[in-house]
Amino acid sequence: MISEDQFMETYKPIQQAAEGEFMLDDFQEAVRFAEARGLSSNHVWTIMESGDGDDDALYVSAGYHLVNRIGYIVTEKPWETGIEDAIWMEDDFESDDDEEDEEPVDLFQNQEDLPAEVQAIIDHHTRLIEENEGDAYVLCRDFQKAMDATDYTFDYGLDGVPFNLRRVQH
């Protein structure tokens, strides 16, 4: 089995639409797409899930397959033997074992879990912002300065809306 990069470089999948889509839903549609370009059905591959619950990668296999199929693609270079397989899309986006890959949690959504001191700062500055007690951007700047005395920080934009409250890693 070859890697995703090797497959892309060797077989060169053809985009079927201007938006960059490669996949077609129906095998006959894929064959017609290939034939319209002067290619044979040996240019059609099946995109499949592995069927293994622990493996979220997608694979391509030469020709028509029904089991675990997601769709079909057409390549510039044909498959030759019918037993060619490759990785279509590797599951390298997120790892269950690697906490650094996890999406950070905005603690503004879980304020009840914060220390009382931090909750008091949030309550005070949120009230000022909501009651329009000055320029929201300036209020956020002052809010962030108050948070600097704690182990927490957040981001805010020119609109003066605080977001992404998180604990500072020392």
103-128 per-position pLDDT tens digit: 567 787 778 888 899 999 999 988 88
Q: Where are the domains of the chain?
A: 4-89, 104-167
Q: Are 23 and 73 in contact (CB under 8 A)?
A: yes
Q: What angle do CA 8, 13, 17 make, to 5 degrees?
A: 135
According to the model, what pLDDT value does residue 93 have?
43
Is the pLDDT at 97 greater than 50, yes or no? Answer: no
* Enclosing H/E stretch for 4: helix 4-11
Sign of the Cα torsion 110, 114, 116, 117 reads negative
Is the pLDDT at 141 greater than 80, yes or no? Answer: yes
What would the mean pLDDT of 43-66 be, rounded to a whole number?
81
